[in-house]
Structure 1
Amino acid sequence: MENEFPDEVLKSVFPLLDGKDLVFCMLVCRQWREIAKDDYFWKCICSRKWPSICKQPPVDANYKKLYLTFSKPQKIQRLPVPRLTFDDLVFYIDMWLEESLIFSQAIAGCTLRAGLQCAPHGIPDILAAHLRSLDCILMLEVEPKLSIPTGPAITVSVLAHRKDSNKMACIINKSTFDYIDGSAARALAYEYLRFSPRHPFISDIRAWMSLLFLYKGASVIEVFGIEIDFCDAARSETEILWLLDMLDWK
């Protein structure tokens, strides 16, 4: 295709193309490639994509480089292997009904990671679908099951201990289960996580605690499971471990 089109024809067409098409034109032949190298054509593209930069361009602006650098699709970057593992963690969970302690256990991180071994019959379809999800679910089977009246306030506290550094962090501090999702048979409490001062730009991420239950009459629930999740920011095991690693451990 060498010299099949006069240079003037190509120079009148190239300013009308978008960046992707101009890149393809550079692959056609030497003539097209040499003409398409002219930064004027790339300036035309950039003026449509970022009009303001052409009004007051940086010194020695290279519009081809600008377009090729910032128009590339972003690559999904995988998180590196976290320093923390669930084997390093112990969670201390305490729950009160009004002022009476109704649940108090120290639970190994690997136990929470293992989740429920067998969900009871009769749970709602929404909850059953959640239990089958591919997310990392931190869940504990409550045995014996807790029968709790729905009227009084139920509060929860969760501390975590990391054995690799012998430090503690607060996950939830006496939060109330103030929302009941009847369709999913879950009672929910949350608190915003406290992060290390080394991560000052991370905030507004919540730790959620769920009571998984079945109704036992009009005003009593029977809790068969407890779940901790960080769905605001972390769903996979790697994401959760990195999130926990950034907490304000003391």
Structure 2
Amino acid sequence: MIGQFRRARRPSRALARAAAAALLALTGIGIGSHQSAQATEVPVDIAPVSQHLNACFPEPALPWLPYMGPAIEGALIYDDWIASIITAGQACEPLRVPLFGELRMPLADPVMTSEFGPRYHPVRRRWLPHTGVDLVDRERRWRVPVLASGMGSVMATGSFAAYGRSVIIDHGHRVATVYTHLSSVSVREGDQVEAGDRIGRLGSTGAVTGPHLHFELRLGGAAVNPLDYVAPWPEPPPGHA
């Protein structure tokens, strides 16, 4: 097995959640740079994604909300928009929780820099939910390939304010993965992917303090701890030795 994760210290368990027109939550912010995330502006530069309508689901996904302000504030917009796309698009399917190891890590040799769950936000200076894990390459290389965790269909791509350039993959059975802060995206909505396919490259787009991958696993639209289900690669994935 390639290496082991070096985990950050586990933060205290405290939650904070803001309520607005759409339910709001914050995505992850990486570590390792002196750049101020608060000063970063990220234009949303894509057309609205498809409505992701589903005959089993009476409502479409939440409407696209263009945002041109500071990226750190835009972090409060997109978590539930992403969840609504996944929920609406997968509504006809029964939920099947994946077994550990059915999905693989999105980097060939990752190190975790921030865990899933509540954490003290370094810019907003309060406890906020972290809906995924932050990963970097073990050698701290930038723009390394970001890999699909499993077979599936690309549900959406685009620039989502604090998330930066992002990809959402539908793995079926109401299982989805989310990959954010990418420097580039290699797939389009509707593309079919296999485990280990390159879908983009690690970057620092959106609200970040350094290059990293914010990676989420969603079951029925709800964020869960990826480390409970996603395993490291036992050997370098094909083409990434």
TM range (shorter): under 0.3
TM-score normalized by the length of structure 2? 0.26
Which of the pair has more CA radius of gyration? 1
TM-score normalized by the length of structure 1? 0.26
Q: State the structure with bigger RCO (CA 8 A, min sep 6), 1 or 2.
A: 2
- Structure having the larger proportion of residues in helix: 1
